[in-house]
Amino acid sequence: MKKKTGKILIIDDDEDILQAARLFLKQHAALVHTENKPNSIPVMLKNETYDVIFLDMNFAKGATSGQEGFFWLDKILEMDPFAVVVLITAFGDVGMAVRAIKEGATDFVLKPWQNEQFLATFTAAMNLRQSRIETNNLRTRQKQLSADLDQPFHDFIGKSKAIQDVFTSISKVAKTDANVLILGENGTGKELVARALHRQSPKAEEVFISVDMGALSETLFESELFGHVRGAFTDAKENRAGRFEVASGGTLFLDEIGNLPLTLQAKLLGVIETRTVTRLGSNKSVPVDVRLICATNLPIHEKVSANEFRQDLLYRINTVEIQIPALRERSEDISLLMEHFLKIYSKKYQKSQKRMNAGTVKKLEKYHWPGNVRELQHAIERAVIMSETTVLQPTDFLFPSQESKDEGLVFDTYNLEEVEKATIRRVLSRHGGNISQASKELGLSRTSLYRRLEKYGL
């Protein structure tokens, strides 16, 4: 027996019509609601999502103009632009029904109807609804995928035991649905590990969606992660799926989760536990199925002890933990990475293939790389761009001395903006461009530091 699917709403002032439609459709649909008062439509649509809505054209006694039907058709489409509305109309009102289709209705059913024709209209309407939802989800996914693909991404490589242990963990965990927490300093490749887990998982053909939790303000958190409906706030011009919905069926990567305020941690925990999201401004719960991978560069267990991170949330996200070593802990991989980035940037900037002399290799291997692989990558890119020779020299790489002590800042101005700019530049240099470490020393949030970097053009 074919499984019943679909949620149906029928609005007509004739109780006999409602009864007949309900008895017939309940044989084919999972849920059938009937209503004889059109004023109830807004409340019903707020509390439930219907796949097909059957709507009468006239409700007032003796009315034949269809104006009430046009009014409520407009209201329904305003509340749900993807709604599939089928009109219920008398034979003499066919011209009116055609006009309504031009204004957004999907089809019409003539009273009295033949059951075979009624079923065919219902089936076609259900297929159209499914097609609209799938098209919208694909469009949203494509936008997010395009944004993700624009981000720099390079292969995760290394031969050291430390990194081979990471590869082993990835191989063991990837084929499960276990939630994974990736720990490591900035620039070590946490997103690369997350993508490797996704590529080796049963969800590899589905989407991989990445979210930088550190860059989300509290006001945007719910909208970005859980979505919103039209009118939920001032700029909500249309319904929008959040990252959980967009990633459903695939993998959702929440980077910098350690920066999430306690108030928002509770909301995230609720979604992980129930596996449902409720869009901002809506009462309806939407089921989601995501493989959750999180990452942080912060000492998350210490934050739990300090009551700065919820222990129950940590339990949910770290079924398995993967610790990525800093680059200074796997110095034997530096030469491999150097060759890798040299090939990439020589090709990108259309330069003859660059190489390094022994002195340059030795200098790069001795440096402590506080910014890890990302800093190495940027250093080599900069050297490839600036060098005029085929062989890169030690002088093509300028690093702050590991042993140098901060002699303090000396200012020749009392202009507060200039003092702030110089201070930020010095602290960033000391931490090798590591935003998290610099913001911590400066006593700023990452978001506040990013704003100042943009303001001063740093």
**Domain encompassing residue 351:** 334-367+377-396
What pLDDT, on a 0 to 100 scale, did the predictor assign at position 154? Answer: 44
Phi, psi angles (nearest 5°) of residue 136: -65, -40
Q: Could you give the CA distance from residue 18 to residue 33 in angstroms, rounded to a whole number?
A: 9
State whether 347 and 270 are in the same domain.
no
The better pLDDT of the pair 110, 11 is held by 11
User: What is the predicted pLDDT for the residue at 151?
Assistant: 43
Average pLDDT over residues 299-324: 94
Task: Give the total residue count for the chain.
Answer: 458
Residue 372 domain-assigned (yes or no):
no
The reported pTM is 0.60
Share of the chain above pLDDT 70, in %: 91
- How many separate domains does the chain show? 4
Question: For residues 206 and 219, what is the distance between their CA atoms, to the nearest angstrom?
Answer: 29
Q: What is the pLDDT of residue 112?
A: 81
Residue indicated by tokens 């129950």 = 312
Tens digits of residue pLDDT in 315-337? 999 999 999 999 999 989 999 99
Ramachandran bin of 44, using left for φ above 0, alpha for ψ from -120 to 50, beta for the remaining angles: alpha
CATH for 355: 1.10.8.60
Residue-wise pLDDT tens digits, 333-373: 999 999 999 999 999 999 888 889 888 998 998 898 989 99
CATH of the domain at 74: 3.40.50.2300
Give the per-residue pLDDT at 405.
Answer: 42
Give the model's pLDDT for residue 456. Answer: 74
Is 2 within the bounds of a domain? no
**Can you tell me the distance from the alpha carbon of 277 to that of 279, in angstroms, rounded to the nearest whole number?**
6
Residue 137 domain-assigned (yes or no):
no
Q: What angle do CA 262, 266, 268 make, to 5 degrees?
A: 110
pLDDT at 142: 67
Do 81 and 55 lie in one domain? The reply is yes
Higher model confidence: residue 2 or residue 215? 215
Q: What is the CATH number of the domain that holds 421?
A: 1.10.10.60
User: Is residue 141 in a domain?
Assistant: no
DSSP string of 141-202, one letter each residue: HHHHHHHHHTS--------SHHHHHHHHHHHHHHTS---EEEE--TTS-HHHHHHHHHHTST
Over 80: is that where the pLDDT of 144 sits? no
What is the pLDDT confidence band of residue 155, given thresholds at 50, 70 and 90? low
What percent of the chain has a predicted confidence (pLDDT) above 90?
39
Same domain, 204 and 109: no
Nearest to 186 by CA among 378, 403, 314: 378
Residue 168 domain-assigned (yes or no):
yes
> Residue 401: which pLDDT band, with cuts at 50, 70 and 90?
low
> What is the band of 209 on the pLDDT scale with cuts at 50, 70, 90?
very high
Residue 190 has pLDDT above 50, yes or no: yes
Query: Is residue 140 situated within a structural domain?
Result: no
Query: pLDDT by residue (tens digit) across 43-54?
Result: 998 888 899 999
Is the pLDDT confidence value at 412 over 60? no
In the predicted model, what is the mean pLDDT of the chain? 85
Q: What is the pLDDT of residue 256?
A: 92
- Going by pLDDT thresholds of 50, 70 and 90, the confidence category of residue 274 is very high
pLDDT of residue 93: 66
pLDDT on residue 449: 82
